[in-house]
Amino acid sequence: MEFDYNNNYQATIGMTLLKLCIVSVVDLLFVEERLSRQNSYSDVRRKDLKFDAGDMVFLKVAPLKGVLRFEKKGKLSPHFVRSFEILKQIDPVAYRLALLLLFSAVHDVFHVSMLRKYVADSTHIVDFEPSQINENLSYEEQPVETFAREAKLLHNKGIALVKVLWQNLDVEEAT
């Protein structure tokens, strides 16, 4: 009786129950094969991130439309904010950071995908020479020397081009 029931045409599903079971098993095999292939492709590019307490990391911020976070809004908002020290590992994928008072409204535990390792580099440190800054936060550049002269002809007129080294800039930044 069970064999007859399973081999009879079912109008609601448009086939026999036996055929439905075979189709389902075959579909499951193809789905599993497809998923394993997708996983193998994605695992090639995936890297497990592991940090220790005391490591320095950059914090990734996801800019939300219309929300002012981390000092800038819109296109110019940074993707990563400063380097922070990891205080401790909460879970295999969650870390507690030592945030500044400026970020007191932000929770201090972050997922590993929001962190990027900071490698200390002496070129990241910028020597700052204070200059005379006006009240409107501008400053005046003073020319130090002119070291390249050239004359160009434009519409039968001679135009003198001069390269000037400015007071607070390097030679590569001369204009």
What pLDDT does residue 68 have? 46
Structure tokens at 137: 């936060």
Residue type (1 letter), 18:
L
Q: The pTM is what?
A: 0.46
Please enumerate in sequence order all residues whose Cβ is within 8 A of that of 82, keeping only pairs 6 or more positions apart, or say none.
58, 59, 100
Calculate the average pLDDT of the chain. Answer: 76
Structure tokens at 169: 């800039």
The listed range with the strongest mean pLDDT (43-47, 123-127, 170-174) is 170-174
Would you place residue 153 in the very low, low, confident or very high pLDDT band (cuts 50, 70, 90)? confident
Please enumerate in sequence order all residues whose Cβ is within 8 A of that of 163, keeping only pairs 6 or more positions apart, or say none.
146, 147, 148, 149, 174, 175
Say if residues 82 and 22 touch (Cβ distance below 8 Å). no
What pLDDT does residue 89 have? 92
Would you place residue 1 in the very low, low, confident or very high pLDDT band (cuts 50, 70, 90)? low
Distance CA(175)–CA(163), nearest Å, equals 5
